[in-house]
Structure 1
C-alpha cells in the first residue's frame, strides 16, 4: 500500500552495471519496493557506470569523465538518487567530490553526491517502509559488503528491514566484517588471494546452516555464489531487494 505522505514525490534510480547486466530482477524489485511506498521512480536511460572500476584501477581521468556524465544525467531535478548497492553508493557519495576536488565543477558534484542514498537506508529512514512477511519459515545469513559497512554505512538499515520479516531467522556470519575477496578488479589482479578470501566466506556461510545468503551488493553475490556453484554448494545468493519483494508477496 502506498503511503499517503509520499504520493507525488519522485526519486531517481541508479540501476548499477550489475543490476543492468546480471541482476535485472533485483533492480526491478528495488524499483517495486520504492513505488510501493508511494514514490515515482525516474530512471534516466542515459545513465552508465558509477566509474568505480576505472577509479580503483588508477585511471583517474577516465573515472572523472564517467562520474561527470552521471552528475549531468541525474541533475535535471533535485530528486534523491536511490542506489541499490553500498559499493556504488559509496563511490558516488564519497569519492566523486574527491575526484573533482580541484575542479570548478566541485560545487555541482557535491550537490549531486549529497543526494545519493543507498536503497535500504532510503526505504528504512526516508520511506518508513513496513513489511508483512507472507513467506514460509526460512533461515538466512547476511553478507555485509566492505563499502556498505564503511562508506554507505547502511548495514543497520538493511538488517532492520529484514528484522520485520516474521518468518525469517537471520543467523549472523562469524566473519561478517571480512571481505568476500571480490573487490571489483582486485579479484582479477589477485586471483589467488581473492580465491582464498571467498573460500573463507563460503565456509562461513555453510557453517550457519542457512538456506540462502542475502546481501545488498550484487558484486559480492556474484563472487560468493560463483564459488558455491563451483563447489556444488546449493545455497542461493539473493539481493535484499529481491528477497524482501518475494517475501511480502508470498
Structure 2
C-alpha cells in the first residue's frame, strides 16, 4: 500500500508519516523542497505544490492524506484519475470556506473519504515559549477562555488510522483534547511539565495588540475565538478515544513532549 502525504513537513504531517511507516506502509511525501524536508530515509520524496499539482505525483498511490490547501478540486480529480481509492482530509473544527470546499470536493469524488477536523492545536501554545523562557510568564487577553488543546500526535494517529484501516469511510471526526482549561490552567500545565512556576498575566485586547506584533487580521481572528470561549467553553469531545481506543493526551503530556521548547 502506497500512501501520499501532503503537508508532510508540517506539524501534523510529520507524525502521520512516522505512524504510517511504523505500520509498514509505503509513504510518498509531497514537498516543495525535498532537500530540506528532513523526513526518514524510507520516505519517497516528490517535489510539488498543491497550488499547481501534477498528475505524476499520484501515480501508484492507493490512499491520500490531503491537507486543505491549494486547488483542492484539481488535486482530487488528479488523484481519482490516477487510481487513488481513499482520501483522508485534514481541515478544522472551525469550518471556513476553504475547508468546506476541500471536503465537498472529496465527497463528490466517489472515493472513500474521512474528514479529520481538529480544534485548537496544543502546538499553538508554543507561542508562549519566549515569555516562559524569559521570565516564566504568559501575557495574553481573555484569561477565562476555556479551550481543549489537542496533541498533534493524536490528530496524526486518527488520520493514520483512517488511512490504514477500514470502517471509517464517510465519517467526520471532530477532535479535541481531553480537558477544558482556562489560559492560566494551560500555563500551569506547562509549568508542571517543565518544573517551573509559570504565571499568567491578563492583558487587555488593546495591550496585547500593541505588544504581540500580530497582524490585525490574525489578531481579530484570535480575539474572536478567545472571547467566544469565555462565554461558551470549547467542548470536550470523545472522538480521539473512540477512534484510537485510548484517552487523548493532556496538555501536560504535550508539554512534556515539548519541554525543550520552553526551557
Which bracket does the TM-score occupy, shorter chain normalised?
0.3 to 0.5
State the TM-score, normalizing by the size of structure 1: 0.35
Larger-gyration structure (1/2): 2
More helix by share: 1
State the TM-score, normalizing by the size of structure 2: 0.34
